[in-house]
Amino acid sequence: MKNDHLSKQIEKKRADLIEVVRKEGLSSSLAIQYSQELDRLLNQYLHLSMQNKSAISP
């Protein structure tokens, strides 16, 4: 299922972001890039969840 795959991507990106922030700081260019990528993944997940909910609801 796409939600499961997306959830795994989100958790991986979140872990990557935490590690980069720990090593390079919150305002590093890589931390900002990872944060933006995480935002995109979360938006995709939310959009997909809303679509699935609409398809299930009568």
The tens digit of pLDDT for each residue in 1-58 reads 588 999 999 999 999 999 999 999 999 999 999 999 999 999 999 999 888 877 776 6
Q: Which of 30, 42, 29 is nearest to 3 (CA)?
A: 42
What CATH number does the domain containing 22 carry?
Answer: 4.10.280.10
Which pLDDT value is given to residue 2?
80
Measure the CA–CA gap between 28 and 50, rounded to whole angstroms. 33
Q: Return the amino acid letter for 28.
A: S
Structural domain range at position 38:
3-55
Residue reference for tokens 């980069």? 20
Biggest CA-to-CA distance, the chain: 49
The total number of structural domains that make up the chain? 1
Which pLDDT value is given to residue 53?
79
Which pLDDT value is given to residue 1?
56
Binning the chain into helix, strand and coil, the percentages to the nearest 5 are 90, 0, 10
